[in-house]
Structure 1
């Protein structure tokens, strides 16, 4: 995909202009919102990625994130904040953000984070254009969708992290991956947090895909089996 649409919600005008300039230089179509209410009004347009400041005038970033997730759980979101870094990082990740940057940061650092997230969600995973069949589920890597063939081909609602985990484990069905490997490839090398996040995502996937054989290797990690 040659052009991505990125929505930037940031009320610091100088910063938003700088970030927009850097992202536009990458060939991305960037739309800036200076307050949370304006951002929420455009949630239904579903960009490829949101860059979302937590402290926004009017409606704060947490509420904007809730609206984004209510509309489309799979839209990638990067939180930025100058407040309590550890608290915001934890709250943001728990609420479903895909990455976090604390102010001040270099614009190029955001560009690197955005590129990695866009590549992970829309790029490399889709290149093989393959579909994997697992216990009456069809995992379509290009479309980033899981179909339940026993439920009238219903598409299963998965979050970005849940889908990334499924796609990673189905790249080589039967291969065991450690929690460290999963963290690095799904959350990224810069992830700061507990490996228990992997267990939480696995638990949610098992609940949504009850017939999947997602095996726990105690003390190590996980693997998906074909039957």
Structure 2
């Protein structure tokens, strides 16, 4: 079995070494760094997952994330933050993070989230063996096997989580998908009472689908979202 390579960047040496030891014990190959500049340099070699602390010396995690996403939208990123303010978490998601966790984090919970995100990436292509590789909804086309989406023949730049949420919405177009289902199926965890991560991912998708003449993501207040298709559009 292929060993997944994880980049872990955190200036809390004690916590970072504990998380590294735990992840290595679960079979992951972990590259550990303690500042943003080293994190950015290490990210230039292929990684299956990046875990970034927000508060780091030299470059903070948000700066690193922004730089990484300029050239790499595929590698999943989980942000770690000790701050109680939601602003940093929301900004991280807007910049392209796939998920976040507050510090100090439970190693078992972090492991569960890492596995859930990696599992989605590995099973998307496999699922296509029993269904069509292509999803077509309105003016949006998705190749599940190649993990590529096109709007009006233009390739959409999506993070892994955005792709997975969009796939879920396309597979059930015009049907309500609850926030709980999105959180459990895509992020691998139950939706917390004040968790806005799904809302931010949906906001990012709306912006990227804004040129569509046939589709829009509707909010069903208190429940979830649905991909609305204007089937009578020209």
TM-score (norm 2): 0.79
CA drift of 1:38 comes to 1.0
Contact 1:9 1:52 in 2 (8 A): yes
Figure out how many residues of one structure are paired with residues of the other and give that number. Answer: 222
Runs (5+) with no aligned partner, structure 1: none
Q: Name the SS for the 2:210 alignment partner.
A: helix
CA drift of 1:96 comes to 2.7
Q: Name the SS for the 1:71 alignment partner.
A: coil
Q: What is aligned with 2:86?
A: 86
Kindly provide the CA deviation profile for residues 105-159 of structure 1, in whole angstroms up to 9, marking residues without a partner as x: 2222211121112123x133332122213345431112211145x64xx532123
Partner Cα distance (1:226, 1:21) in 2: 51
Moved more, 161-170 or 83-92: 83-92
Question: What's the RMSD between the two structures over aligned residues?
Answer: 2.8
Q: What is aligned with 1:189?
A: 190
Q: What is aligned with 1:18?
A: 18
Q: Name the SS for the 1:133 alignment partner.
A: strand
Partner Cα distance (2:27, 2:175) in 1: 37
**2:233 corresponds to 1:222:** no
Q: What is aligned with 1:132?
A: 135
Contact 2:10 2:56 in 1 (8 A): yes
TM-score (norm 1): 0.81
Moved more, 170-179 or 74-83: 170-179
Contact 1:9 1:32 in 2 (8 A): yes
Kindly provide the CA deviation profile for residues 14-66 of structure 1, in whole angstroms up to 9, marking residues without a partner as x: 32222122212222221111211111123332412111111212111111111
Contact 1:5 1:30 in 2 (8 A): yes
CA drift of 1:12 comes to 2.6
Q: Name the SS for the 1:50 alignment partner.
A: strand
Partner Cα distance (2:55, 2:98) in 1: 18
Contact 2:5 2:29 in 1 (8 A): yes
Contact 2:137 2:173 in 1 (8 A): no
Q: Name the SS for the 1:51 alignment partner.
A: strand
* Alpha-carbon spacing, 1:13–1:71, altered in 2? closer, same or farther (3 Å): same
Partner Cα distance (2:20, 2:95) in 1: 25
Q: What is aligned with 1:213?
A: 215
Runs (5+) with no aligned partner, structure 2: none
Partner Cα distance (1:170, 1:128) in 2: 15
